[in-house]
Amino acid sequence: MTKAIINTDMNIGPFKIPGNGQNMILNFYAERNKIKVEEIIPEPFMSDALATTQWTHKKKKLELVILCSIHQLPQKQNRVNSLIRNMKNVEFHFALENISGKGKKFLKSCIKEAKIFKNAKVIDSTKTSWSKLNKLRLKKK
C-alpha cells in the first residue's frame, strides 16, 4: 500500500499556491504527522477530476493521500461519484484544514464544505470597517 502527496493546479479555491509551494506544504504536513511519502502524483493543470490519482490508485493501491486543501476535490457530480466509487477506502488528509478521514461520508462532507465556501459572498475588506462587518455578523444571527 502506497502513501502519496498530490500536486494540482495552483488555483486552489481562494488560494494561489504554485507547485513548489504545494510540495513544501505537503511534505511539512507529512513530516509533522510522521507519514512516509512514497509517491508524488502530479495532476494536470486546470483539472479537478483527480483522474491521475484514481489511475495511480488502480495501479499501486493507494492507502493514504495528502492534498493541500479540500478545495482540490472535484465539484462536478460525475467526478465526485467517480472519486468516491474508486477511492472510498483511501485515507485523505488535507494539510491547510488539518483534517483527515476516509469513506464516502467524509469525502462528501469535505466536498460540501468546499462548495459552501466557493459560493460565499466575498467582502472587500478595503471598502468596509470592523463595525460594519460586526453589524453584518449580528444580522446573520
Report pLDDT for 137.
77
**CATH class for domain 2-140?**
alpha beta
Report pLDDT for 127.
84
Report pLDDT for 135.
84
Average pLDDT over residues 76-96: 96
- Give dist(CA 65, CA 26) in Å, integer: 10
User: Residue 64 is which amino acid?
Assistant: L
Q: What percent of the chain has pLDDT over 90?
A: 75
Boundaries of every domain in the chain? 2-140
Average pLDDT over residues 89-100: 97
Inform me whether the pLDDT recorded for 141 exceeds 70: no
Residue 17 — pLDDT band, cuts 50, 70, 90? very high
Per the rule left: phi > 0, alpha: psi between -120 and 50, beta: everything else, 27 is: alpha
> pTM for the complete prediction?
0.86
